[in-house]
Amino acid sequence: MSKSKKNNSASPDEKASDVSAKDLQQRPAGPHKQTLSDSLIETSQDLAVRSFRWYLLFPVLIFALAFVLDKQLFIWRFPDYYLRTASYISYEHKIQLMDEMELYLRIPPDQRKKVLVMFGNSRTTSFNNAYIDANHPDWILYNFSVPGGTADYFCYMLEEFQERNLRPDFVFFAVTPQGMNATPSIAMDEVMLNGLSTGFILRNFTRYNVSDVSNYAAKELFWTYQYRPKLKVILERWKNHSEGARELRYFNAITQYNLLQNRGSVPYGDGNAPEQNPDFLRKTAEGTWRDFLSPFKINPGQVYFNEHMVELANELQIPNALLWVKVGPFLRELKANRRINDPDAVEAVTIRDVFVPIMKDIESRHDTRFVDMNYTDGIQCDRFYDSSHMAAYCFPEFTDFLFAHIRSRADDL
Give residue 79's pLDDT: 85
pLDDT in tens, 352-398: 999 999 999 999 999 999 999 999 988 999 999 999 999 999 999 99
Strands 320-324 and 170-174: parallel
Q: With contact defined as beta carbons under 8 Å apart, do 141 and 116 qualify?
A: yes
CA distances from 105 to 121, 128, 153, 264, 293 (A): 24, 21, 22, 17, 39
Mean pLDDT of 234-252: 91
Give residue 4's pLDDT: 42
Give residue 13's pLDDT: 46
Give residue 329's pLDDT: 96
Residue 66 has pLDDT above 80, yes or no: no
Give residue 41's pLDDT: 66
Residue 16 has pLDDT above 60, yes or no: no
Residue 49, amino acid: V
Mean pLDDT of 301-326: 98
**Residue 371 three-state SS:** strand
Q: With contact defined as beta carbons under 8 Å apart, do 146 and 94 qualify?
A: yes
> Which secondary structure element, helix H or strand E, spans residue 101, and what is its range?
helix 87-105
pLDDT in tens, 180-225: 999 998 888 899 999 999 999 999 999 999 989 998 998 888 888 8
Give residue 62's pLDDT: 84
- Residues 6 or more apart whose CB falls under 8 angstroms from that of 149 comprise 119, 120, 121, 122, 174, 179, 191, 195
Give residue 290's pLDDT: 95
Higher pLDDT: 211 or 116? It is: 116
Residue 227 has pLDDT above 70, yes or no: yes
Give residue 239's pLDDT: 92
Residue 234 has pLDDT above 50, yes or no: yes
Residue 8 has pLDDT above 90, yes or no: no
Domains of the chain: 66-412 (3.40.50.1110)
Cα–Cα distance, 177 to 302 (Å, whole number): 10
Task: Report how far apart the first and last C-alpha atoms of the chain are (Å, whole number).
Answer: 113
Mean pLDDT of 121-134: 96
The CA-CA-CA angle for residues 6, 8, 13, to 5°, reads 90
- Residues 6 or more apart whose CB falls under 8 angstroms from that of 145 comprise 90, 118, 119, 120, 121, 122, 123, 124, 125, 174, 264, 265
**Residue 384 three-state SS:** strand
Cα–Cα distance, 120 to 143 (Å, whole number): 8
Q: With contact defined as beta carbons under 8 Å apart, do 388 and 123 qualify?
A: yes
Residue 35 has pLDDT above 60, yes or no: no
Residue 34 has pLDDT above 60, yes or no: no
Cα–Cα distance, 336 to 332 (Å, whole number): 6
% residues pLDDT > 90 (the chain): 65
Q: With contact defined as beta carbons under 8 Å apart, do 82 and 229 qualify?
A: yes
Residue 17 has pLDDT above 60, yes or no: no
% residues pLDDT > 70 (the chain): 85
Residue 136 has pLDDT above 50, yes or no: yes
Q: Where are the alpha helices (DSSP H) in 183-342?
A: 190, 198-203, 210-221, 223-227, 231-261, 278-288, 300-315, 329-337
Q: With contact defined as beta carbons under 8 Å apart, do 170 and 117 qualify?
A: yes
Residue 39 has pLDDT above 60, yes or no: no
Cα–Cα distance, 293 to 253 (Å, whole number): 34
Average pLDDT taken over every residue of the chain: 87
* DSSP category for residue 274: P
Give residue 2's pLDDT: 43
Give residue 307's pLDDT: 98
